[in-house]
Amino acid sequence: MQETHSTNFPKAVRITEVGLRDGLQMESAFVPTATKIRLLNALIDAGVRHFEASSFVSPRAVPQMRDAAEVLAGITRRADVTLGVLAPNRRGIERALEAQADEIVVFLSASESHNQKNLNRSVAESLQDMRDAASLVRGTGVKLKGAIAVAFGCPFEGNVPLAQIEAIATQFAELGFDAITLGDTTGMATPALVRSTVQRLRARLPQMPLALHFHNTRGIGLVNVMEGLALGITDYESSLAGIGGCPFAPGASGNICTEDTVNLMNELGIATGIDLARLTAVALDLEQVLGRTLPGQVMRAGPRLRVHSLASQAAAVG
């Protein structure tokens, strides 16, 4: 493990695994419930302690998530593990509460056009849904997180004014939400955008915990993580083997990869509590389940100091 090169970096971070929600929602072939449970339990054994384990959405819209309640019921529950779920509306929240989720994530988009595509509602209507969510969850002991999609750019509108993001985040804070996730839904984030957005929200809402959710669409997902670390952000969302994307946004390829993110943190001397070797084994298991090569890089190359047998390597001739 290497010591961090910046004393400004946090000593530890929390990584929320979203692969079995954000990742699998893009898969057309249904992954059996028992397989999802096996993968989630293996991730817990690898040290992952925070999840978006599934979503309570319309089975017609996202059929892969139709077994959300069964998945939560089948996981080996632990007091130190937070099983979060995504829920877009009152019915979804009610189902999540019935399934005894530890955290409910409600979401909307920062742009009108993406919100219409993603939720078939205006931003104003979605904000009313947030008020309903707060009233449903308040007093249950379940944590409530608000997620802002396309926070770093919209595939239909381009740049999203910071004032729009600030206005939505302020509504979340006024409603008593526990945290806010800034979602880079189509990989449009840049370090400069990350810095300006985080600084704007911190100036307005200094006590609100922020999480960052990046995609690697344009190859700079971990560069944006480095910017987040420099800003002192300690909560990141990532996806096993780098799978995922948004089914309602063009060009939304996979999330930043959990193994690659953990490897980066290890090299910076930042604690995650996750065993990289065990995590990589789960990623390779997922690759077998899905039957294709997945985007993760550390799962293929191994950590930096993995050594190989000299005798097994062919030598150059001539």
At residue 97, what is the residue type? L
Q: Which pLDDT belongs to residue 305?
A: 85
Q: Which pLDDT belongs to residue 8?
A: 86
The 10s digit of each residue's pLDDT in 240-289 is: 999 986 555 555 568 999 999 999 999 999 999 999 999 999 999 999 99
Whether residue 3 has pLDDT greater than 70 = no
Are the C-beta atoms of residues 180 and 148 closer than 8 Å to each other? yes
**Mean pLDDT rounded to a whole number for the chain:** 92
Are the C-beta atoms of residues 99 and 73 closer than 8 Å to each other? yes
Are the C-beta atoms of residues 247 and 253 closer than 8 Å to each other? no
CA dihedral 113, 115, 118, 120 (to 10 degrees): -90
Residues 6+ away with beta carbon under 8 Å from 86? 21, 52, 54, 55, 56, 57, 92, 104, 105, 106, 107, 147
Q: Which pLDDT belongs to residue 77?
A: 93
CA angle centred on 211, ends 135 and 187, rounded to 5°:
115
Active site residue 246: yes
The position carrying tokens 């993580």 is 225
Neighbours of 271 (CB within 10 A): 12
Strands (E), the chain: 14-17, 50-55, 82-86, 103-109, 143-149, 179-183, 210-213, 235-238
Q: Which of these is catalytic: 246, 262, 279, 282?
A: 246
C-alpha 11/C-alpha 6 separation (Å) is 10
The 10s digit of each residue's pLDDT in 127-151 is: 888 999 999 999 999 999 999 999 9
Q: With respect to CATH, is domain 14-301 assigned 3.30.390.50?
A: no
H-type helices in 141-257, by residue range?
Answer: 162-174, 191-204, 221-230
The position carrying tokens 């560069």 is 223
C-alpha 144/C-alpha 181 separation (Å) is 11
Q: Which pLDDT belongs to residue 1?
A: 44
Pick the closest to residue 39 from 12, 8, 71 (CA basis): 71
Q: Which pLDDT belongs to residue 147?
A: 96
C-alpha 239/C-alpha 235 separation (Å) is 14
Distance from the first to the final alpha carbon of the chain = 39
Q: Which pLDDT belongs to residue 314?
A: 76
The 10s digit of each residue's pLDDT in 169-221 is: 999 999 999 999 999 988 999 999 999 999 999 999 999 999 999 999 999 99
pTM, full prediction: 0.93
Residue 123 φ then ψ, to 5°: -60, -40
C-alpha 14/C-alpha 16 separation (Å) is 6
